């Protein structure tokens, strides 16, 4: 199955793992969420489809997909959210007042990653960031 033009089953197999039926259901569910979902929301959807898959299995599979960098995990609005990784990394601007989440392309962080590597010898993983602050509307409403 291909999600976001990426064959995730093939990516899993290339790394020496099998695509089990449970993994397939969790992967399909994360994709169907269409964005950010909590582990609990993902579990509820999986459970509605396949009640035999327990919560611990869903959570382990989510961690497995995160380790393989097929699914991204980020703290957004005080909750751990999961989403399928697309073709390129993207990031989020999260308003701490109204909770609005806006996507931010990866190119904003390439210079930072290059700087960290050149100046500090640090290879930063900037594949999926959530940056908290105030959106333009909330800043305007607060008179900032």
Tens-place pLDDT, residues 60-106: 999 999 998 888 888 887 788 898 887 667 788 888 888 888 888 88
> What confidence category does residue 123 fall into, taking pLDDT thresholds of 50, 70 and 90?
very high
**Nearest Cα to Cα of residue 105 among 131, 67, 80, 143:** 131
Residue ranges, comma separated, of all CATH 1.10.10.10 domains in the chain are: 2-84
Let me know the angle formed at the C-alpha of 93 by 118 and 124, rounded to the nearest 5 degrees: 20
Name the phi and psi angles at 21, rounded to 5: -60, -35
90-141: CATH number = 3.30.1490.190
Considering only the top CATH level, what class is 2-84? mainly alpha
Residue ranges, comma separated, of all CATH 3.30.1490.190 domains in the chain are: 90-141
pTM listed for this prediction? 0.73
Let me know the angle formed at the C-alpha of 126 by 108 and 68, rounded to the nearest 5 degrees: 135
DSSP state of 106: G
Please tell me whether residue 83 adopts helix, strand or coil conformation.
strand
Q: Quick check: 8 pLDDT over 90? A: no
């Amino acid at each position: 199955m291909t999600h976001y033009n990426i064959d995730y089953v093939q990516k899993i197999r290339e790394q020496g793992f099998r695509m089990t039926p449970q993994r397939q259901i969790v992967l399909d569910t994360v994709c169907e969420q269409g964005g950010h979902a909590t582990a609990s929301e993902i579990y509820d959807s999986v459970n509605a489809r396949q009640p035999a898959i327990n919560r611990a299995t869903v959570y382990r599979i989510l961690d497995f997909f995160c380790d393989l960098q097929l699914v991204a995990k980020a703290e957004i609005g005080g909750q751990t959210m999961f989403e399928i990784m697309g073709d390129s990394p993207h990031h989020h601007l999260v308003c701490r007042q109204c909770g609005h989440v806006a996507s931010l392309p990866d190119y904003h962080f390439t210079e930072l990653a290059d700087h960290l590597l050149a100046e500090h010898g640090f290879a930063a993983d900037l594949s999926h960031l959530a940056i908290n602050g105030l959106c333009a509307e909330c800043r305007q409403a607060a008179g900032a």
